Structure 1
Amino acid sequence: MAERHGRRVVITGWGVVSPVGLTADETWDALVAGRSGIGNVTVIDASDLPTDLAGEVKGFEPKKYLNHKQVRRMDPYAQYAFAAASEAVGTAKLEITDDNAHRVGALIGSGYGPMQSLGEHVVVLGAKGPRAVSPFAPVTGAIDSAAGEISLAFGVTGPTRALSSACASGTDAIGEAARWVRYGVVDAVIAGGAENILTRVDMAGSGNAKALSTRTDAPTEACRPFDEDRDGFVMASGSGIVVMESAEHALARGATILAEVAGYAATSDAHHWTAPHPEGRGARAAMRGALEDACLTPEDVGYINAHGTSTVFNDQSELDSIRAVFGEHAERVPISSTKSMTGHMIGAAGAVEAIVGAMAINRGLVPPTVNCHKPIDRAVNFVAHEAQAHDVDVVMSNSFGFGGHNAVVVLRRWQG
């Protein structure tokens, strides 16, 4: 981050498991092509649920990344995190040895954690009794299981923790882990978010709360952020993980620097469990705080990856907040929501979207908001339907979650 605050923090590796791809590159290619990963759910029986729309991870084979014992004791959310972390560490070419392991940490965010496994353990207990409950249940059902498995597999002996702040979890994990690097707690950290909430309980609850899209006749068109006809978000699963290091550490080992984590801020609305603050108080403070942390102005931002969930209140509130913070620049900067293609990965969303932002800096393209046929504000560039070429040096990625959690990260092109 900014030098006056301490050490500069850079991204040297990334990994993604998403409804549109099983790697960062696959995900990026699908997004810039405008391909949706949303469809009718297949992993659960949704015949009696309010909606059967979901962004499922497709074609994922746990045994490609994990041995038999690991698969048995890991919920899918942790499996996704492990796969993304493996890609991130490989991309970064980070070697963790006995000599440096204590200077490496892991921080994995999740809104809900191992919901599938918890549900399965409860069913087994009720149907077969206590003796039938797996001895792995305390591990499989723990929200820190992803961080723990990553620590065990890669030999990370610095701080390893879980973080949960609903839909802001992935962004918060990256931001808080960046602070570990900034202030010298570690030299490198594996951080991000993971989620697998495609369970009957989660889909029933969110559906009954009237938060989900019911456009079941056209799944790929269901998620339509910033469109006048939006009717709710689409639940999804996945993971996004980055490797972050101090600039000195990365340069000393000859690592390729992909982007700088320039600023981060987190706030709370203290208003309502599910509705955003009517004046966007927390969202605006988080955006302003992240820019201040980065020593940047709104005019410096070249792309905003919006939270953009496709819910009536969130989209309008976020847009109002962007206008309040960015002024006239809100009509010049491209703003898109990749949730229009992935669905809402909850705790993984912010991490995946931060990676997408960093890739936009490196690739010179901004991914689109698909299904934005009737934009709620025609003066704003929502990058409707098709990717756009933009020379982007600074990206803002927004995450605003249930419970009033707000987290914003600002990424910048690396300039040594």
Structure 2
Amino acid sequence: MNGQIVITGMGVVTPIGATVESFWEANLAGRSGVVPEDRMDVTGLPCGWVAGIIPEEVKEDIKARHGAPDRSWGDTLMHDAVDQALTDARFSGRPDGPAGLVWARVWPGPSGSFPQDYARHMTDLAVRQREVGNEPAAVLRHLRGRSLPLEVGDLSAFPREISERLGTPVVPARLEATCSGGLRAIAEAVRMLRSGRVEFAVVSAAVSRNTPYVLSQYGQLMALSRWKGDPGQSSMPFDRRRSGMVINESAGALVLETAEHAARRGVDRVHAVVGGWGLAVDTAHITAPRVEMIERVMRTAIEESGTTPDGIDTVNAHGTSTRLNDVTEARALHRVFGERMAELPVSAVKSLTGHGSAASGVVESVAAALTLCRGVVPPVVTCTEPDPACDVRTSPTPLRQPVRTVLKNSFGFGGQYASMVFLRPERPRPAPAADPA
């Protein structure tokens, strides 16, 4: 394993499971976490009547473990996922050096994109400008003794808190890369590890943006599902009936290490090896993906991982359930894999969880790692009428087969594209033993 970057710990909080094993079991069972949006009045919206929501009893448990008066819900979710990942990595004691920390969340403020977040921030700036202008010393005197309200704070205590949890300094990096942010965070952590600055890194992302403002934004784009049947069927990637995505609240975390560092800790069974990745930013259109860019990042990820398109065993798709994204991703897949698309299994986690922005890339990478270790490709139970314009091979039931490589895709608004290949380790982490009856 010399020179490899391996995943030794994983944690998730999602609408279908708040532990890795419950999340995986729900994936294989095809159990949806998409339910009617009953936390606000959505009757006047043209879409967005459902959401992927973490059950209330789970939220209360997480708040009891990780909540704090000045800690946002997004940071609380990340703390829970990180704690799971560190426990899963069998982390105990203090790392023998600084640790990397790469995390993704949305500005302004940890509370999400409420319009009052912007209004409060801009009002404060206007008051300061009127009272003291821009002279640095005067601004300093104005700000001294004042604390930014939680909803407009661009920073959080998250990196300091993780440093305290690890017992070592962290080399922090925060990303803002919309829905590709999860994979980009993993890539940034791998760069840190390969640079030699750290041998141990934590990656985390969270989203909780189910607010009237966010729903109205997506409603204007008509990007959200307009399905009026069973809520669990609302997110249907690659199905001809798909009408838009479903947004969710979720968090994911990974522990990445050099293989040598893991071995020194006595960890010889790991979840996955990070192969290669492709990243791109395209300014052609702020929301519409392009086939050429998706093809480029997939080919780059495959090449950098040292394999070929014939060496990819399955694809963990971005699969948002929007009319444009699914067919664009599918066309790019056909360009890369050609005739193999008839036999290449494709999974789409968002069919059950909905879309968690940057958190999706981390959460779905957990699913990719489990696919490698367990030899099971999750089903896409909501794709019951496959769209011939997509022509991808999804299954209504789990597919059990040897899996050596998984290609994972994530794309986002602003022309963000990311693709990554995960490899099966020589000694994969086995499933936990079943509890005796």
Q: TM-score, normalised on structure 1?
A: 0.89
Instruction: Report the Cα offset of residue 36 of structure 1.
Output: 0.5
One of 273, 278, 296 as aligned partner of 1:260: 273
* 1:42 corresponding residue in structure 2: 38
Which sits farther off after the overlay, 287-296 or 328-337?
A: 328-337
1:323 matches 2:322:
no
* 1:308 corresponding residue in structure 2: 319
Identity of aligned residues (%): 32
Aligned mates of 2:303, 2:156 — CA distance in 1: 32
Which sits farther off after the overlay, 350-359 or 213-222?
A: 213-222
Matched residue type, 1:177 = A
Aligned mates of 2:314, 2:175 — CA distance in 1: 27
* 2:308 corresponding residue in structure 1: 297
One of 177, 197, 215 as aligned partner of 1:165: 177
Aligned mates of 2:377, 2:35 — CA distance in 1: 24
Contact 1:302 1:334 in 2 (8 A): yes
One of 89, 93, 104 as aligned partner of 1:92: 89
1:56 matches 2:53:
yes
Contact 2:275 2:421 in 1 (8 A): yes
Which sits farther off after the overlay, 25-34 or 57-66?
A: 57-66
Residues 212, 124 of structure 1: alpha-carbon distance in 2 compared, 3 angstrom cutoff: closer
Instruction: Report the Cα offset of residue 112 of structure 1.
Output: 5.1
One of 6, 16, 21 as aligned partner of 2:17: 21
1:276 matches 2:289:
yes
* 2:387 corresponding residue in structure 1: 376
Contact 2:351 2:382 in 1 (8 A): yes
Residues 382, 111 of structure 1: alpha-carbon distance in 2 compared, 3 angstrom cutoff: farther
* 2:138 corresponding residue in structure 1: none
1:108 matches 2:103:
yes
Instruction: Report the Cα offset of residue 161 of structure 1.
Output: 2.1
Aligned mates of 1:143, 1:167 — CA distance in 2: 20
Aligned mates of 2:106, 2:150 — CA distance in 1: 18
Contact 2:344 2:393 in 1 (8 A): no
Residues 76, 221 of structure 1: alpha-carbon distance in 2 compared, 3 angstrom cutoff: same
One of 237, 243, 246 as aligned partner of 2:249: 237
Residues 15, 106 of structure 1: alpha-carbon distance in 2 compared, 3 angstrom cutoff: same
Q: How does 1:335-354 map to 2 (within 5 A)?
A: 335-354=346-365
Matched residue type, 1:359 = L
Contact 1:181 1:245 in 2 (8 A): yes
One of 49, 67, 72 as aligned partner of 2:69: 72
Please list every run of at least 4 consecutive aligned residues from structure 1 whose deviation after the TM superposition is greater than 6 angstroms.
none
Residues 299, 33 of structure 1: alpha-carbon distance in 2 compared, 3 angstrom cutoff: same
Matched residue type, 1:33 = A
What SS does the aligned partner of 1:159 have?
strand
Instruction: Report the Cα offset of residue 156 of structure 1.
Output: 4.3
Residues 253, 153 of structure 1: alpha-carbon distance in 2 compared, 3 angstrom cutoff: closer
Deviations 1:64-94 (A, max 9, x none): 432xxx5222221111111100000000012
Deviations 1:183-209 (A, max 9, x none): 212101000321111111111101111
Instruction: Report the Cα offset of residue 139 of structure 1.
Output: 8.4
Q: TM-score, normalised on structure 2?
A: 0.85
What SS does the aligned partner of 1:116 have?
coil
Contact 1:38 1:343 in 2 (8 A): yes
Aligned mates of 1:212, 1:337 — CA distance in 2: 17
Contact 2:37 2:50 in 1 (8 A): yes
Which sits farther off after the overlay, 9-18 or 284-293?
A: 284-293
Instruction: Report the Cα offset of residue 141 of structure 1.
Output: 3.3
Instruction: Report the Cα offset of residue 152 of structure 1.
Output: 3.8
Instruction: Report the Cα offset of residue 144 of structure 1.
Output: 5.3
Q: How does 1:125-140 map to 2 (within 5 A)?
A: 135=147, 137=149
What SS does the aligned partner of 2:251 have?
strand
One of 372, 383, 405 as aligned partner of 2:416: 405
Q: How does 1:147-162 map to 2 (within 5 A)?
A: 147-162=159-174
Residues 32, 103 of structure 1: alpha-carbon distance in 2 compared, 3 angstrom cutoff: same
* 2:192 corresponding residue in structure 1: 180
Contact 2:113 2:209 in 1 (8 A): no
Residues 119, 378 of structure 1: alpha-carbon distance in 2 compared, 3 angstrom cutoff: closer
Matched residue type, 1:188 = F
Instruction: Report the Cα offset of residue 301 of structure 1.
Output: 1.1
Which sits farther off after the overlay, 297-306 or 373-382?
A: 373-382
Which sits farther off after the overlay, 30-39 or 293-302?
A: 293-302
Contact 1:78 1:114 in 2 (8 A): no
Q: Report the structure number with the largest CA radius of gyration.
A: 2
Contact 2:378 2:397 in 1 (8 A): yes
Aligned mates of 1:73, 1:121 — CA distance in 2: 18
Contact 1:228 1:376 in 2 (8 A): yes
Aligned mates of 1:340, 1:379 — CA distance in 2: 16
Aligned mates of 1:57, 1:228 — CA distance in 2: 28
* 1:31 corresponding residue in structure 2: 27
Aligned mates of 1:303, 1:112 — CA distance in 2: 34
Aligned mates of 1:88, 1:294 — CA distance in 2: 25
One of 198, 202, 207 as aligned partner of 1:195: 207
* 1:204 corresponding residue in structure 2: 216
Instruction: Report the Cα offset of residue 215 of structure 1.
Output: 1.3
Contact 1:226 1:376 in 2 (8 A): yes
Deviations 1:331-362 (A, max 9, x none): 22111111010000111011111110000111
Aligned mates of 2:403, 2:17 — CA distance in 1: 24
Contact 1:334 1:382 in 2 (8 A): yes
Aligned residues: 401
1:214 matches 2:226:
yes
